[in-house]
Amino acid sequence: MSYRAFFGLIKEPFTPDIELDSILQTPALLALSQRVDYVIRIGGIALLTGEVGAGKSTALRWSTGKLHPSAHKVLWVTATSGSILEVYRQLLAELDLHTASSSRAVLTRLIRSQIQNLVATKKQQPLLIIDEASLLRLDVFTELHTMTQFEGDSKPWLPIILAGQNNLADNLLYRTAIPLASRVVARAHLEAVDREGMECYIRHHLAIAGLQNSPFEDAALTAVHQGSGGLFRKANHLARGSLIAAAAEKSQTVTPDHVRMADSELL
Ligand SMILES: Nc1ncnc2c1ncn2[C@@H]1O[C@H](COP(=O)(O)OP(=O)(O)OP(=O)(O)O)[C@@H](O)[C@H]1O
Ligand SMILES: [Mg+2]
Q: What is the pLDDT along the chain (267 residues), one digit of tens a residue?
A: 899 999 999 999 999 999 999 999 999 999 999 999 999 998 899 999 999 999 999 999 999 999 999 999 999 999 999 999 999 999 999 999 999 999 999 999 999 999 999 988 888 999 999 999 999 999 999 999 988 887 765 565 799 999 999 999 999 999 999 999 999 999 999 999 999 999 999 999 999 999 999 999 999 999 999 999 999 999 999 999 999 999 999 999 999 999 999 999 988
Q: Would the CB of 238 count as within 6 Å of ligand 1?
A: no
Radius of gyration of the chain (CA): 21
Q: In ligand 1, which atom is closest to the CA atom of 23?
A: 3
User: To 10 degrees, the CA torsion angle through 137, 142, 144, 149?
Assistant: 170
Q: Burial code of 167-199, b = ≥16 C-beta within 10 A, e = fewer?
A: ebbebbeeebbeebbebbebebbbebbeeebbb
The predicted structure's pLDDT at residue 154:
52
The pTM is what? 0.94
CATH number attached to the domain at 3-9+193-263: 1.10.8.60
C-alpha–C-alpha distance, residues 167 and 134, integer Å: 6
CA nearest ligand 1 atom 25, residue: 52
For the four alpha carbons of 142, 146, 147 and 148, in that order, the dihedral sign comes to positive
- Contact 236 CB / ligand 1 (< 6 Å): yes
What are the residue ranges spanned by the domains of the chain? 3-9+193-263, 27-190
What's the CATH code, domain 27-190?
3.40.50.300
